Amino acid sequence: MKSVLVLDFIWNVKKHSIGDVCVVFGDDPFFKFTAIRMLRDVVLGGEDAEFSLRRFVGDDINFSDLLKEVSTRAMFGGDKRFVLIEDADVFVTRFRAELENYFDKPSGSAVLVLDLKTFPSNTNLYKKAVSSGLVIEAKALADKDVPAWIVKWAKQRHKINCEMPAAEALFERIGSEAGLLDQEIAKLALMIPAGGGSITVDLVEQATGSWRTQSTFEMIDLALAGRTAAAIKQLNSLLTAGENEIGILAQIAYSLRKFAAATRVIIDAEKAGRPISLQSALDKVGVKRFFMEKSERQMKMLGRNRGAKLIDWLLQTDLNLKGGSRSNSRFALETLIIKIADQRLR
C-alpha cells in the first residue's frame, strides 16, 4: 500500500478506510488542516464530539502520556476518541521505536493522528502506517491545476458556481496558496445574490486584490482594537479608491461572522453546563489553524457582548446598503465600524 494524495481523500472521503492510526504530512498547511478536520468529522461527528477530541503539540507530550490518552474510551461523540498530535516531527524522532510498536497493535479506543511536515517512505514507521492505517500526503497545488481546483472547491465546499475564466482570474490575482484562495472564494460567495448566480470575472475584478483585501483586514483589526478614527480613515481610503460598499461589507462579514458563531458556541456550551475553550469554539466554526492565534487575540479584544451582537449589526448594515435607510452607504459602513470599535460594549 502507499499514501493517499490529499485531494483524492478530500473529494472522496467515504471511499477511504480510516483505521486507528492516521498520518497527515506535507508542505501545504491548508490541505493538512482540511484533511485533519474531515478525519475528525468522520471519526467523531455529533454535537458532543468536542469532548472526545484531544489535541497536543509534539514538543509537549511524552509517549507514556499518549498511551493514556489513546487507551481512554470516549464518553461522548461516538465510540472512539480522536487524539491529534500537531507538529509531531520532533515527537516521531524521539519515540520512533515506541510508535512502531504501537502501529503494530494500536488501541481500539482512539484514532491517533500525527501531523507531520515530512514522512519518508523508506522508513519502517511509514511502512507500518500504510499497512495498518491511513497516510495522507498534503502537497501544494501545481500552478496548472489551480483554476480547476478553484471551480471544484467552490462547488463542493462553498456551494457556489465559479466560471473557469473567473477561476483563472482569481489565480492570477491571489496565486496558488489554497488557504488564501479559500478565503477569497468564501468572500465572493457572500456577494452572490440570494436568488443564485456564479462567481464571474467581473466579480473577481471588483472584489479581489491584494491591496484591497489587506486594507480591509487592517481596518477590521483597528476597529477590534478600539481605534475608531484609524479604522474610519482606512474605510475612507477604500471608498475613495472606488471600492464598492457591498464588496467591503462582504469582506467585513466574512471575517466577523465566524467570531459571532464562536461567541454563540461558547454561550450555548456554558448554558448546557459544558464550557469549552476559546480555541475549541473557533475551531468548531471553521477557523483555520494557521489563523488561530490571531483569531483568538481578536476575539478577546471583541468581547462577548459585541460578539453576540455582530450578526444583527451585519444584517442591519446589509439592509441599509440595499435601501433600508435614508442615510448614504458611507454612513452605514461608518456606523458599523463605530459599533465594532466601541470598547464600552465589551
* pLDDT tens-digit series, residues 180-230: 889 889 888 888 876 678 999 888 877 776 566 677 888 998 999 889 999
pLDDT of residue 146: 93
Do 191 and 294 fall within a single domain?
no
List, in sequence order, the alpha helices (H) in 49-123.
63-71, 89-94, 96-104
In angstroms, the CA 179 to CA 246 distance is 23
Domain boundary among 106, 138, 170: 138
Domain boundary among 151, 175, 208: 208
Q: Which residue has the higher pLDDT, 14 or 345?
A: 14
- Give phi and psi for 43, each to the nearest 5: -70, -45
Do 321 and 294 fall within a single domain?
yes
Domain boundary among 111, 138, 165: 138
Do 121 and 20 fall within a single domain?
yes
In angstroms, the CA 29 to CA 137 distance is 11
pLDDT of residue 212: 64
Angle at CA 57, nearest 5°, toward 52 and 60? Answer: 110
Residue 76 pLDDT > 60: no
Do 130 and 157 fall within a single domain?
no
Do 91 and 106 fall within a single domain?
yes
pLDDT of residue 148: 95
Do 204 and 224 fall within a single domain?
no
pLDDT of residue 47: 52
For the full predicted model, state whether its pTM sits above 0.75.
no
Instruction: Tell me which of 60-64, 79-83, 329-333 is least confident.
Output: 79-83
Do 16 and 133 fall within a single domain?
yes
- Cβ neighbours, 10 Å, residue 343: 13
Amino acid (1-letter code) at residue 279: Q
Residue 75 pLDDT > 70: no
Do 99 and 185 fall within a single domain?
no
Q: What element of type H or E holds 171?
A: helix 164-174
Do 26 and 85 fall within a single domain?
yes
Do 288 and 327 fall within a single domain?
yes
> What 3-state class would DSSP assign to 105?
coil
Listed in sequence order, the residues at least 6 apart from 272 whose beta carbon sits closer than 8 Å to its beta carbon are: none
What's the whole-number mean pLDDT along residues 143-162? 93
Do 150 and 258 fall within a single domain?
no
The domain in which residue 131 lies consists of 4-138
User: pLDDT class for 131, splitting at 50, 70, 90?
Assistant: confident
CATH of the domain at 297: 1.20.272.10
CATH of the domain at 178: 1.10.8.60
From the list 346, 337, 344, the residue with the least C-alpha distance to 228 is: 337
Do 158 and 89 fall within a single domain?
no
Task: Give Cα 207 distance to the centre of its chain.
Answer: 21
pLDDT digits over 256-311, tens only?
Answer: 888 999 999 999 888 888 888 888 888 888 776 667 888 888 898 888 888 999 98
In angstroms, the CA 34 to CA 40 distance is 10
CATH of the domain at 48: 3.40.50.300
User: pLDDT class for 253, splitting at 50, 70, 90?
Assistant: confident
Residue 329 pLDDT > 90: no
**Domain count across the chain:** 3
